[in-house]
Amino acid sequence: MKALVLAGGFGTRLRPLSCTRPKILFPILNKPLLYWMLEKMKANDVDEVIMAVNRQTAFQIKQSKLQKSDIKISYSFDPPGKPLGTGGPVKRAEKLLRNDDFLALNGDIFTDINYAELMKFHKKVGAIATIALHKVDDPSRYGVAELADDGRILRFIEKPTAKMAPSNLINAGVYAFNPKIFEYIPKGRKVSMEREVFPKLSEQGALYGYVHDGLWSDIGEVKEYLQINLYMLSLYSCDTCAPKHFDNVELKKPVLIDDKSFVGNDSIIGPNVILGSKVYVGRNVQIRNSVIMSGVEILDNTVIDGAVIGENVKIGRNVKINERCIIGDYAIIGDNVFLGEGVSICPAKEVLESISSAIFNAKCW
Ligand code: GTP
């Protein structure tokens, strides 16, 4: 089975972390999302993956050395400077996919959907497109489906108001397509699968839904990204999740600390902390409810609570970083700096003075 992975979006809602990495390479439990997706695909009869990306993302995926010998990965590029949305990249990969039914996966979804079962259902009902559906409390941020008893989607509405939503079943960003799908996607322009193609297919009775009850998370926003990391941490917590060589360090489970990281005396790590590779933590540091990516340095007496810290960030002494702060890769936070709730720092920015709160919500300092 072939799978097309859509991973050429800009991930604007994940800035500033997405300024320097595509969503598909955001780490979950210290491994890129793409690693988890490839593992899942291998276990579900996928033997060839086509990454629909821009050149920058392809470069970064290659750098990440995730290529697996037992699964073939090739690339289908969006035209330079011309993102094609969620439909255009499918059409663009037509030559590679036109011979058989195939999977299409959004590259920002962490899920345990059984792709093989999805494909089986799709073929059994003879759909042109089958959308994996997931039940959520508030469907208004997603595409919502009204499902008939026979699995047909009667209506598909993208981002309806809470009142207008026909159900709580949302588009999980995982699809099975028959090659006839290509006839529904105009060539050479940006196309929204959700707004242009799915509504048309549902009118024609050719769109089906496959309900998935298990694990599902869209990492499209930082809050969700942190949440799925900490949820997975709660499942994977174990005695060997942290190196044993620390003296006088209090580890409050669940924590995951890479073997190549170091934590100094009198520090308290956890609960709910992930430290990536080669993180250095000084003395008397406290970290809670946070994801700290690789190569970060955190000096003595600093406190971090509820934040995501990008790769290779340097944080000085006596710093306080509060909830919902996001620090872009390679930023420097000077000694004694206080960052109030929700402050975002741009990649490689030097911050030498305190920032009390994120008054300008969208602003990245
Ligand atoms: P935001 O800017 O934060 O909305 O994110 P996004 O546009 O990257 O993501 P969105 O949720 O809209 O897209 C769903 C999936 O489609 C993601 O995996 C994206 O990477 C992918 N995608 C979105 N636009 C494009 C595009 O123009 N080209 C390609 N190849 N993939 C895309």
Catalytic residues: 159
Element (H or E) spanning 120, and its range?
Answer: helix 115-125
| The Cα angle at residue 220 between residues 147 and 209, in degrees rounded to 5 | 15
d(CA 232, CA 212) in angstroms, rounded, equals: 18
Which one, of 169, 204, 170, lies nearest residue 184 by Cα? 204
CATH 2.40.400.10 fits 2-222, yes or no: no
Residue 56: strand, helix, or coil: helix
- Each residue of 298-326: pLDDT tens digit? 999 999 999 999 999 999 999 999 999 99
From the CA of 76, give the closest atom in ligand 1.
30
Atom of ligand 1 nearest to the CA of 22: 20
For ligand 1, atom 10, name the residue with the nearest CA: 9
Taking only the tens place, the pLDDT of each residue in 64-75 is 877 666 789 999
Structure tokens at 149: 């008893």
Q: How far does residue 90's CA lie from ligand 1's centre (Å)? A: 12
189: left (phi over 0), alpha (psi -120 to 50) or beta: beta
Q: What is the pTM of this model?
A: 0.92
Q: Is the dihedral of CA 260, 265, 267, 270 positive or negative?
A: positive
Q: What is the β-pairing status of strands 143-147 and 153-158?
A: antiparallel
Whether domain 237-351 has CATH 1.10.760.10: the reply is no
Average pLDDT, the chain: 92
Q: Return residue ranges of the chain for CATH 3.90.550.10.
A: 2-222
Give the pocket of ligand 1 (CB within 6 Å): 6-13, 23, 52-53, 78, 83-86, 89, 106-108, 220
CA atoms within 13 A on the CB side of 43: 9
Counting ligand 1 atoms within 8 A of each CB, the residue from 33, 92, 108, 217 with the most, and so the one to mutate, is 108
**Positions of CATH 2.160.10.10 in the chain:** 237-351
pLDDT at residue number 10: 87
- Determine how β-strand 297-298 pairs with β-strand 280-281: parallel
pLDDT of residue 165: 84
- Percent of the chain scored above 70 by pLDDT? 95
Q: What per-residue confidence (pLDDT) applies to 281?
A: 97
